[in-house]
Amino acid sequence: MTNPIAVFIAVFLLVALGVDMVFNSSEAALFLAKKLFDLIEWMAFWR
pLDDT, residue 36, reads 96
CA distances, 29 to each of 4, 5, 11, 46, 47 (Å): 25, 23, 16, 26, 27
**Residue-by-residue pLDDT tens, the chain, 47 positions:** 899 999 999 999 999 999 999 999 999 999 999 999 999 999 987 77
pLDDT, residue 46, reads 73
HSE of 34 in the Cβ direction (CA atoms, 13 Å)?
A: 6
Residue boundaries of the structural domains of the chain? 3-45
DSSP 1-47: --HHHHHHHHHHHHHHHHHHHHHHTTHHHHHHHHHHHHHHHHHHHT-
